[in-house]
Amino acid sequence: MQYLSFKNFDKLQDNNHKKKMPWFKFYKEFVTDYKTSKLSMSERGVFISLLCITADEGNQVPYDIKWISSRLNCSEKELKTGIDKLIEFEIIIVTGDVVEITKEIDVEVKITPITINYDSQINEIVSYLNEQTGKDYKNNGKDTVQMIIARLKEGYNVSDFKMVIKNRCIKWGNDTKMKEFIRPNTLFRPTNFEQYLVEAKSELNKYKQNKEQESEKYVLPELPPEEMATPEEVKQFFNKLRGTK
Judge if 59 and 139 occupy the same domain: no
**If pLDDT is split at 50, 70 and 90, which confidence band does 111 have?**
low
Residue 107 confidence (pLDDT): 59
Burial grade of 223 (CB within 10 A; 0-12, 13-18, 19 or more): exposed
Distance CA 35, CA 221 (A): 95
CB 192 within 8 A of CB 161: no
Query: 134 and 92, same structural domain?
Result: no
Residue 125 pLDDT more than 50? yes
Plot region of 190 (φ>0 → left; ψ -120 to 50 → alpha; else → beta): alpha
Asked whether residue 210 is domain-assigned, the answer is yes
Among 38, 35, 40, residue whose Cα is nearest residue 7: 35
d(CA 30, CA 9): 14
d(CA 41, CA 157): 71
What 3-state class would DSSP assign to 111? Answer: coil
One-letter amino acid at 154 equals E
157-204 pLDDT tens trace = 999 999 999 999 999 999 988 989 999 999 999 889 999 999 999 988
223 found inside a domain: no
Question: How many residues does the structure list for the chain?
Answer: 245
Answer yes or no: is pLDDT of 126 > 60: yes
Nearest to 188 by CA among 116, 137, 120: 137
For residues 130 and 58, state if they share a domain.
no
Q: How far apart are CA 157 and CA 148, in angstroms?
A: 10
Domain hosting residue 78, numbered range: 2-96
My answer on whether 141 and 92 are in the same domain is: no
Please check whether residue 180 lies inside any domain of the structure: yes
Q: Which of the 8 DSSP states describes residue 222?
A: P
Residue scoring higher pLDDT (141 or 109): 141
Report how far residue 229's alpha carbon sits from residue 165's, in angstroms, rounded to the nearest whole number: 54
Mean pLDDT of 95-99: 60
Q: How does the average pLDDT of the chain come out, rounded?
A: 79
DSSP 8-state class, residue 22: S
pLDDT of residue 17: 47
Do residue 137 and residue 194 come from a single domain?
A: yes
113 assigned to some structural domain? no
Q: pLDDT value at position 146?
A: 93
Evaluate whether residue 74 is within a structural domain. yes
Strands of the sheet with 61-62, listed across from one edge: 61-62, 2-6, 92-96
Which has the higher per-residue pLDDT, 221 or 159? 159
Q: Comparing 95-99, 130-134, 155-159, 187-191, which segment has the lowest mean pLDDT?
A: 95-99
Residue 11 placed within a domain: yes
Does the pLDDT value for residue 113 go beyond 60? yes
Instruction: State how many domains the chain has.
Output: 2
pLDDT tier at 217 (50, 70, 90 boundaries)?
low
Whether residue 103 lies inside any domain: the answer is: no
> 74 with 148, same domain?
no
For residue range 68-83, what is the model confidence (pLDDT) as tens digits?
Answer: 888 888 888 888 888 8
227-244 confidence digits (pLDDT tens): 556 677 667 766 766 666
- 20 sits in the region (left: phi over 0; alpha: psi -120 to 50; else beta) called left
Lowest-pLDDT choice from 10-19, 61-70, 125-134, 141-150: 10-19
Rounded CA-CA distance 151/188 in Å is 8
